[in-house]
Structure 1
Amino acid sequence: MSFAFGVVLFALGIGVTIALHEAGHMVAARACGMRVRRYFIGFGPTVWSFTRGHTEYGLKAIPLGGFCDIAGMTVNDPWTEEEEPHLMIHKPAWRRVFVMMAGILVNIVLGVLIIFGVAVSFGLPSTAPPKAEAVDLVCTPDVVEEGATTAPSCTGEGSAEASGVQVGDTFLSIDGERIDGFPDVIAAVQELGRTAGQDGVARGDTVTVPTTVDRDGERVDLDLQVQVVERAGETVGAIGVQFDGSGQIDDYTPLTAIGGTADFTWNLGKQTVEALIDLPQRYWPVVESIFGAERQADSPVSVVGASHAGGQLVEQNQWMAFLLLLANLNFFLAVFNLVPLPPLDGGHAVIVIYEKLRDRLRRLRGLEPGGPVDYVKVMPVTYVATGILLVFGLTVIVADVVNPLQLFP
């Protein structure tokens, strides 16, 4: 029940995000003297609508986006004589760019407000690198329980301690594989347990692998005992260690949360830009996941997959992560819409900027302004960009349905 509640709640959050993005365009357009004809959430057939003033508001059947129809957004749009004074193409360039950027600004502000609320309510994950990759605690790795969905507390003597691992040790290699940080330790150990389970090793038993650690500047070779356990219905390996600085949460007051929010937002923004740049190379693994390959942790997700992830977080009572995922979604939408290709907001803004620069050059040559760009001439670019976005989006949606991303394997 909590999972379904989380899915619905996150889907509602996405809907509010889209609605506010489009509302940003609408409010900015009206403030700049433009006529807003329609404000809709969704695409396809109209489910419900009403008209107030000059604007029709409503919902459409496919909840995968929204739009704000502004009169005279391009020179190719039809308009009435009554709309003539309010056409977007007749407004100054700075107003047109502001209207196109307004939705993006709303997403950024909304993301920042969510992060600030999380900082005050829960604290924020530390953006500083871990103080060390050294072991902070050795303990019992698992209490084996059928159907367990959460990792147990780390107490008592575990297989790592029995193997000779000590507090302060830094892992250098496990089973011949180089270790660069604690995420590598977790991944290597879990995979060893998974493989052992496939080879018939019973839960609760251990497998021994050669391991090298750094202890006070000296290399120490150990025979690491990896215990085969079950977590969330999956057989994995565990050794019972925690790392100094990993998962650290910084606490804030409403005053100190201002700086903490700025720092966290900056780091999250950089990660979002990097994720967008890497998006093309993540496409094929998504295709492979549709046909049974493992869904990668950094796989892109659609609104379907994001809602599924939200459900998992609520099921695990991870409300801080739930809200930060929603903030991340807002930043991704903002950065994605900045891409300078039509039909995205950034593409429309670039065309306006092109018109301005072109007209300046024409004036230097003693020529009249060239007027608004004929969108028919840029339609091939628009069709290609729209086609790519459509194929990518549909592929991710299919993957989210047949092989959704699992946050808690």
Structure 2
Amino acid sequence: MEDDMSMVLYVVGVLAVVVGVAVSIALHEVGHLLPAKRFGVRVTQYMVGFGPTVWSRRRGETEYGVKAVPLGGYIRMIGMFPPRRGTPAGMVSAGSSNPIASLVESARAESLEELRPGDEHRTFYSLKVWQKLVVMLGGPVMNLVLATVLLAVVAVGFGAVQTTTTIGTVSECIVPVGAPTGTGCSADDEPAPAAAAGIRPGDRVLSVDGVPATSWADVQTAIRAAAGQDLRLVVEREGQERTLVAEPSRTQIVAFDDAGQPVVQEDGSYATVEGGFLGVSPTQDLVRQPVTVVPGQVADAVVGTARVLFRLPQYMVGVADAAFGGGERDPEGPISVVGVGRFAGEIASFEDPSGLVGVEERAASILQVVAGLNIALFVFNLIPLLPLDGGHVAGALLEGVRKAWARARSLPDPGPVDVAKALPLAYAVALLLLGTSVVLIYADLVNPVRLVG
């Protein structure tokens, strides 16, 4: 019965991410669609997904629909590529015996074939430079906005997991630093000061030696500084305040840095210092954050994602070795949408004996996964290569530079940049991305990165 429930929760987690991916893609394309229509470009299609059309409906001059494979989407604008110089708008240039040139001209013809009389000024290539930038950046920016909203919901609505001033566990004896996990107490072991003082799990520390305990760091600092001295703690238990006196033992304890993180030595062990030991540990809970933390979270996520993309070739060597050679997956490396789905399934179905991971924690984690996916879409689409949005952005920026140079030199307007000439490279990039996706998906099926175990 428990296995059945676990499987149900796993499927729910996966479906939640599938819906999140579909919504993210749909909104990405809306980010392109709205400004394109606002600037007068005729948009003939708005599609979520690729492959055969599952459903579609025409409203006005645009066909809206859903396709069978929900791993992407697109809008179809007329005149994405300008006619070749010397060829009037709406006219298709003659073919070429050169296969690459023929490929370019074929794509150009397809881009112009939907032009109707009067559409000459409703094409994408006829837009001003700043309008092209708005249209092409609209999709990635929509993903960034969605990620920011999701992270804000998590931070402000759910909160971040933080230690509280409530006692989670009380040690029965003093266990030496570095002792194996699960080491029990024997009759010869010295009782832990907290147990001897009557401190219990669930007690909320209100003050230590008269100083209010606003965070667990306050409690921890006071304990460490009071080795061999009486420590007066005021705790709340079952709605009543109680005063307890404990004497922290002087022993070797784990050293922490200024950021509150354990100091790890070169051999992987924790550094130790002499200090007070009481034998208590805090509970963890979701603590709501101010909205001011969100910009920093978004910036950190963008920088982290950019670093992964920058090192993608290096990471893919490890992914290929893990997929085909049985090597270990780098938990910090890239994963496919399949891996993202597995993460969500594991989060939703994770069995937590302590009971600390509840519905809120799981929901917050899945929202963070979807937010991270949108950050990845934002950063990835800014790569200045066709067929990505960044390729068209780069073309528009180059056009702006050329026009500014021509104006400064009183030269004729050079016209739009012919991004169609970059199509051979675009097809090569598309094949490379397809191959990378296939390897990642295969690796996530046969040797996935796991959150648990």
**Under a length normalisation based on structure 1, what TM-score does the superposition of the two structures give?**
0.71
Code of the residue aligned with 1:96 in structure 2: it is: K
Aligned residues of 2:150 and 2:371 also touching (Cα < 8 A): yes
- Cα 1:6–1:184, aligned 2, differ >3 Å: closer, same or farther? farther
- Report the counterpart of residue 176 of structure 1 in structure 2: none
Do residues 336 (structure 1) and 370 (structure 2) align? Answer: no
Q: Which moved more, 1:376-385 or 1:94-103?
A: 376-385
Residue-pair matches, total: 328
Match status 1:27 vs 2:30: no
- What does residue 404 of structure 2 align with? 360
CA separation of 1:333 and 1:247: change in aligned 2, threshold 3 A: farther
Inter-CA distance 310–368: structure 2 relative to 1 (3 Å threshold): same
- 1:147 counterpart residue number: none
Pick one of 334, 340, 344 that aligns with 1:300: 334
Q: Which residue of 2 aligns with 1:311?
A: 345
1:36 has 2:69 as partner: no
* AA matched with 1:311: G
**1:49 equivalent in structure 2:** 56
Based on CA coordinates, which of the two structures has the bigger radius of gyration? Answer: 2
2:418 match? 374
Q: Is the 8 A contact 1:138 1:167 kept in 2?
A: no
Asked whether 1:290 is paired with 2:290, we answer no
Between the aligned partners of 1:336 and 1:391, the Cα distance in structure 2 is 16
Checking the alignment, whether the CA contact within 8 Å between 2:392 and 2:419 is kept in structure 1 is no
Which aligned pairs between 1:107-122 and structure 2 lie closer than 5 A? Answer: 107-122=143-158
Partner of 1:80: 115
Using the alignment, how far apart are the partners of 2:318 and 2:264 within structure 1? 21
Matched letter for residue 372 of structure 1: P
- Please give the residue correspondences for 1:226-265 in structure 2 after superposition, counting only pairs within 5 Å: 250-252=287-289, 257-265=290-298
Within 2, Cα distance between the matches of 1:282 and 1:248?
Answer: 35
Q: Distance in 2 between matches of 1:306 and 1:183?
A: 32
Deviations 1:6-64 (CA, angstroms, capped at 9, x unpaired): 11111111111001001111111111211111111111222222211111111222221
Q: Which residue of 2 aligns with 1:168?
A: 253
Which residue of 1 is the match for residue 312 of structure 2? 279
Q: Is the 8 A contact 2:45 2:75 kept in 1?
A: yes
Name the CA shift for 1:369/1:6 in 2 (closer, same or farther; >3 Å). Answer: same
**Structure 1 265/250 Cα, relative in aligned 2: closer, same or farther at 3 Å?**
farther
Deviation, structure 1 residue 85: 2.9
Deviation at 1:139, TM superposition (A): 5.7
Q: Displacement, 1:313?
A: 0.9
Q: Does 1:322 align with 2:359?
A: no
In structure 2, distance between residues paired with 1:397 and 1:166: 50
Who is 1:390 aligned against? Answer: 434
* Distance apart, 1:343 and its partner CA: 0.9
Distance 2:381 2:12 in 1: 29
**Structure 1 runs, 4 residues or longer, greater than 4 Å off:** 136-140, 154-159, 164-167, 181-185, 241-244, 246-250
Shift of 1:251: 2.4
Q: Tell me the equivalent position of 2:300.
A: 267
- The one-letter code sitting in structure 2 at the alignment partner of 1:87 is T
Structure 1 residue 408 corresponds to structure 2 residue 452: yes
* Contact in 2 for aligned 1:139/1:157 (Cα 8 Å): no
Q: Which moved more, 1:284-293 or 1:367-376?
A: 367-376
Kept in 2: contact 1:139–1:158 (CA 8 A): no
Q: Is contact 1:285–1:295 with CA below 8 Å preserved after alignment?
A: yes
Provide the rounded CA distance (Å) in 2 between the counterparts of 1:302 and 1:212. Answer: 35
Once residues 360 and 340 of structure 1 are traced to their aligned partners in structure 2, the CA distance between those partners, rounded to angstroms, is 21
Q: Which residue of 1 aligns with 2:198?
A: none
Structure 1 vs Structure 2 CA RMSD: 3.5
1:3 matched to 2:47? The reply is no
1:346 aligns with 2:393: no
Contact 1:41 1:63 in 2 (8 A): yes
TM-score using structure 2 length:
0.65
Q: Distance in 2 between matches of 1:260 and 1:333?
A: 22
Unpaired segments ≥5 residues, structure 2: 1-7, 83-107, 173-180, 190-248, 351-358
Would the alpha carbon gap of residues 24 and 376 (structure 1) be closer, same or farther in structure 2, given more than 3 Å must change?
Answer: closer
3-state SS of 2:436 partner: helix
TM alignment of 1:133-144, pairs within 5 A: none
Q: Report the alpha carbon displacement of residue 167 of structure 1 after superposing the two structures with TM.
A: 7.2
Q: Distance in 2 between matches of 1:33 and 1:304?
A: 38
Distance in 2 of aligned mates of 1:35 and 1:166: 75
8 A Cα contact 2:384 2:390, kept in partner = yes
CA distance in 1 between partners of 2:182 and 2:171 (Å):
5
Q: Give the Å deviation of 1:267.
A: 2.1
Measured against aligned partners, the alpha-carbon deviations of 1:253-283 in whole angstroms (never above 9, x if no partner) come to: xxxx320222222222222222222222110
The 1:214–1:96 alpha-carbon spacing in structure 2 relative to 1, beyond 3 Å, is: same
Contact 2:50/2:73 (CA < 8 Å) preserved in 1?
A: yes
CA shift for structure 1 position 121: 2.4
Q: Which residue of 2 aligns with 1:216?
A: 274
% same residue: 33
Show the counterpart of 2:211. none
Compared CA separation, residues 158 and 110, structure 1 to 2 (3 A) = farther
User: Are positions 1:17 and 2:24 aligned together?
Assistant: yes
Query: How far apart are 1:184 and its partner, in Å?
Result: 6.5
1:105 to 141, 144, 155: 141
What SS does the corresponding residue of 2:253 show, helix, strand or coil? coil
Matched-pair contact (CA < 8 Å) for 1:138–1:166: no
Does the 8 A contact of 1:42 with 1:64 survive in 2? yes
Cα distance change, pair 405–183 in 1 and its aligned pair in 2 (3 A): farther
**Contact map agreement 2:312 2:334 (CA 8 A) in 1:** yes
Counterpart Cα distance in 1 of 2:314 and 2:284: 28
Distance 1:309 1:365, change over 3 A: same
